[in-house]
Amino acid sequence: MKVVLGVSGGIAAYKACELLRLFTESGHEVRVVPTREALKFVGAPTWAALSGNPVSPEVWDDVHEVPHVRIGKRADLVVVAPATADVLAKAAHGLAGDLLTNTLLTATCPVVFAPAMHTEMWQHPATRANVATLRERGTVVIDPAVGRLTGADTGPGRLPDPAEIFQVCLRVLRGRPQDLAGRKVVVSAGGTREAIDPVRYIGNRSSGLQGYALARTAAARGAEVTLVSANAALPDPAGAKVVRVESTAELRDAVLAASTGADVVVMAAAVADFRPATRHDTKIKKTDGEPEAIHLVKNPDILAELGERRRAEPGPSVIVGFAAETHDVLANGQAKLARKGCDLLVVNQVGEGLAFGTPDNAATVLVAGGDPVEVPFGPKEDLADAVWDLVAVRLG
Ligand code: CTP
């Protein structure tokens, strides 16, 4: 595919080099179109060497090839990363003072913006209005990630991880239905940790990959996503609001709070069923003598609680659970679906080398009042899309 990588003048321009590599290494032909300001951060030779194509911010080079029209018209995808407040404003208003903005006006393919700027600029009503205009036109504007910005400040405005931007672009190239547009979705991911003392905990092997894939794909299908993430060391999925938690109690509070008014809740987190009855305030020392037994008490079952609450009061239209089983997978899954009162239960077999921490997975989705759906072994993102397909049907 022919990809135009627009780069505008922000400090995150250096991260676009990694995005460029992701495209070229997966066989795409990339033409980099930087703005003049972008070249103050990363020079033209870098872009030319990495892309293997000429680089200029001007419409006045190679005029005989009419680049200001040809580049945009030939592209299968235009992605602008980082997109500054300035380039968003120019794109929203149709200004065409350089090669990138001309390309944006002549492109008939999908366009993705990955904004990066200081929080104040992102939240300014002018930028909000420009982003709204672009989105109304069908342009994909990824929400910036939250985190450390150029100076000591933190907040929304960081360029999402290049791998995340790349995933969004691949999905846009593949074409995704916007069947979750306007839906509020909550996804839990990762594994909870129960503290024994300030340094030790009881945890599990969940990497969070499946839950993050669910959050990312839901956002790509238009949903407003809150991801409640328990101890996952993964970049924020593009377009999702991330709430970080550690223990089951924190996960419960965050999920219940986010579930108010939500259409869908997906509990992909591996939740610790038990926690130590007491948490030592100081580190347990070897010199304290023989270790005490750790007495465990039960944790609340969040998924079951969501199901129970929905019976008593209006709640999410669709509740999805996950079940990791080592044996009697389907029988245990069916019993769990009924016991927890959810609409869908994604059941997979776990054990050595299966599911945890791997990019691929296979599963059976049990459907309340319907036939199970088999999802063949493949990327966790495909399983996530299969789940959202079933959710979209139930949402009507
Ligand atoms: N779950 C939850 N709260 C818990 C335990 C599990 O919300 N305290 C959710 C998980 O997020 C998952 C589903 O329930 O969506 C099933 O988790 P699993 O650990 O397989 O179920 P358990 O209830 O622990 O059943 P068992 O121990 O019998 O396997």
Q: pLDDT digit string (tens) for 288-339?
A: 888 889 999 999 999 999 999 999 999 999 999 999 888 898 999 999 999 9
Which of 53, 102, 204, 332 is the catalytic position?
A: 204
AA letter at 112: V
Confidence of residue 355 (pLDDT cuts 50, 70, 90): low
Residues 201-216 have a mean pLDDT of: 94
Nearest CA to ligand 1 atom 20: 323
Burial of 155 (0-12, 13-18, 19+ CB in 10 A): middle
Tell which residue, 159, 47, 175, 37, has the closest CA to residue 101: 37
Predicted pLDDT of residue 154? 84
pLDDT band at 13 (very low <50, low <70, confident <90, very high): very high
Q: What is the whole-number distance in angstroms between the Cα of residue 342 and the centre of ligand 1?
A: 12
CATH of 2-173, one of 3.40.50.620, 3.40.50.1950, 2.102.10.10, 3.30.70.120: 3.40.50.1950
Mean pLDDT over 91-110 rounds to 96
CB 305 less than 6 A from any atom of ligand 1: no
Going from the Cα of 297 to the center of ligand 1, the distance in angstroms, rounded, reads 15
Q: Give yes or no for residue 322 CB within 6 A of ligand 1.
A: yes
The 3 state secondary structure assigned to 157-197 is: EECCCHHHHHHHHHHHHHCCCCCCCCCEEEEEEEECCEECC
2-173 and 184-395: same fold? yes
Using one digit for the tens of pLDDT, what is the confidence trace for 368-391? Answer: 999 999 998 888 888 999 999 999
- Residue 184 CA, chain-centre distance (Å), reads 15
Q: What is the DSSP code (8-state) at residue 192?
A: -
Nearest CA to ligand 1 atom 29: 325
pLDDT at 364: 94
- Answer yes or no: are the C-beta atoms of 83 and 114 closer than 8 Å: yes
Site to probe by mutation for ligand 1, drawn from 271, 336, 348, 349 as the one with most ligand atoms within 8 Å of Cβ, is 271
* Assigned token pair, 166: 């790349």
Residues 108/78, Cβ–Cβ less than 8 Å: no
* Residue at 317: amino acid letter: S
Tokens at 179, concatenated = 């069947």
CA 130 – CA 377 distance, rounded (Å): 42
For ligand 1, the distance from its centroid to the CA atom of residue 299, given in whole angstroms, is 10
- Note the pLDDT of residue 238: 83
Percent of the chain with pLDDT over 70: 98
Q: Which residues pair with 375 in a beta bridge?
A: 363
Q: Categorise residue 259: left if φ over 0, alpha if ψ from -120 to 50, beta otherwise.
A: alpha
Determine if residue 40 is labeled as part of a ligand binding site. no
What are the residue boundaries of the structural domains of the chain, listed by start?
Answer: 2-173, 184-395
State the CATH class of domain 184-395: alpha beta
